[in-house]
């Protein structure tokens, strides 16, 4: 690439229909035939400095199949899968597709090619929401995170526990949604306890996860069950902390949690729904919808992640 190469980009807020809520995402459009190295993508993602940046490889003008290749980066590395970039990019590109075709209602089916595998998509034109059949390889690790390890990073929770203001379990599950994306799932008893969660001094890194799974992103996903939705879904409030950072909406963590709860609490061949609200404490409320399908042996057969997005900015960047 030459120093004068320009690429178009947009930013969107994901898992919301309101600008400046939800989780921001940068989407960089790479024209068909244009070469952008992984190092250059990493540099761009670091410049945006958002939780994720998606790189949308556009099809040739004659391509008929609704399939796009999408690469997802955080500021330090590429990810095999992440939920809010998948849903946000799907809403953006399929919303454009609906406009170009003059479609005002109905559903557009398409797919993305991610590093974690193919992702089937359904875009509701009227609702402006995307539903992704996400890749998964759910793995519950033998190792568990102890209460003492939690309190070492969360002093306000430790103090509340010592004063008998809250209760806390002895340990917590560590679950990977795919290789490379892992979350500690910490259930708290109340929204008051959730409000005590704070940023941590450092991000977690485990060297003793199950063999072949230790090279991974690790976040801590705090959650509180808040009842049932109108459609029978399990309503949950969450926060996702990765060291000194908090994420307003984390589709991969939400999928991880829904998969784990379904395996532990669901019945064979059952379909379960979850409505997850995240980002409230940050002033960026996000609404994440999930549906899990269990097989006859209670393993995860399907995970569907759904949400909307709204465009906020557009422009060009130079490399």
Quote the domain boundaries for residue 205.
139-298
User: Is the torsion defined by CA of 199, 308, 182, 229 positive or negative?
Assistant: positive
DSSP class of 270: -
Set 21, 52, 242, 306: catalytic member: 52
Please determine, for residue 63, whether its predicted confidence score (pLDDT) is greater than 70.
Answer: no
Q: At what angle do helices 251-265 and 83-101 cross, to 10 degrees?
A: 110
Dist. CA 52–CA 85, nearest whole Å: 7
* 236-285 pLDDT per residue, tens: 999 999 999 999 999 999 999 999 999 999 999 999 999 999 999 999 99
Using alpha carbons, list the distances in angstroms from residue 4 to 31, 33, 39, 244: 15, 17, 17, 36
Q: Does any domain span residue 303?
A: no
Mean pLDDT of 155-164: 97
299: CB partners within 8 A, 6+ apart: 138, 263
pTM of the model: 0.93
Residue 228 shares a structural domain with residue 247: yes
Residue 282 shares a structural domain with residue 185: yes
Dist. CA 56–CA 70, nearest whole Å: 5
Asked if 52 is an active-site residue, the reply is yes
CATH number, position 243: 3.10.310
Q: Does any domain span residue 97?
A: yes
Q: What is the pLDDT of residue 109?
A: 96
Mean pLDDT of 191-207: 96
* Number of separate domains in the chain: 2
Residue 184 shares a structural domain with residue 245: yes
Residue 202 shares a structural domain with residue 253: yes
b/e string for 127-148 if b means 16 or more Cβ within 10 A?
Answer: eebbbbbbbbbbbebeeebebe
Residue 162 shares a structural domain with residue 294: yes
CATH number, position 35: 3.10.310.10
First to last CA, the chain: 8
């Amino acid at each position: 690439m030459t120093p004068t190469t320009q690429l178009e980009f947009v930013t969107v807020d994901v898992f919301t229909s309101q600008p400046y809520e939800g989780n921001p995402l940068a989407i960089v459009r790479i024209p068909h035939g244009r070469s952008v190295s992984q190092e250059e993508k990493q540099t761009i993602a670091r410049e945006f400095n958002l939780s994720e940046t998606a790189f949308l490889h556009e099809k040739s003008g004659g391509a008929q199949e609704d399939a796009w290749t999408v690469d997802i980066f955080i500021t330090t590395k590429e990810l095999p899968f992440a939920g809010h970039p998948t849903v946000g990019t799907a809403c953006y590109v399929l919303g454009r597709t609906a406009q170009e075709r003059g479609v005002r209602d109905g559903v557009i089916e398409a797919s993305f090619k991610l590093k974690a595998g193919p992702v089937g998509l359904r875009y509701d034109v009227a609702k402006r929401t995307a539903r992704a059949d996400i890749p998964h390889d759910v793995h519950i690790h033998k190792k568990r995170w102890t209460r003492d390890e939690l309190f070492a990073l969360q002093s306000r929770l430790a103090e509340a526990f010592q004063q008998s203001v809250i209760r806390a379990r002895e340990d917590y599950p560590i679950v990977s949604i795919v290789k490379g994306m892992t979350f500690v799932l910490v259930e708290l008893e109340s929204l008051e306890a959730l409000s005590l969660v704070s940023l941590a001094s450092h991000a977690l890194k485990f060297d003793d996860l199950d063999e072949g799974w230790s090279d991974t992103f690790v976040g801590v996903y705090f959650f509180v069950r808040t009842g049932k939705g109108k459609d029978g879904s399990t309503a949950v409030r969450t926060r996702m902390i990765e060291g000194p950072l908090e994420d307003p909406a984390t589709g991969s963590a939400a999928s991880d949690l829904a998969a784990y709860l379904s395996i532990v609490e669901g019945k064979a061949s059952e379909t379960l729904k979850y409505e997850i609200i995240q980002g409230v404490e940050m002033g960026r409320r996000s609404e994440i919808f999930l549906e899990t399908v269990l097989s006859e042996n209670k393993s995860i057969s399907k995970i569907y992640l759904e949400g909307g997005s709204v465009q906020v900015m557009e422009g060009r960047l130079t490399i």
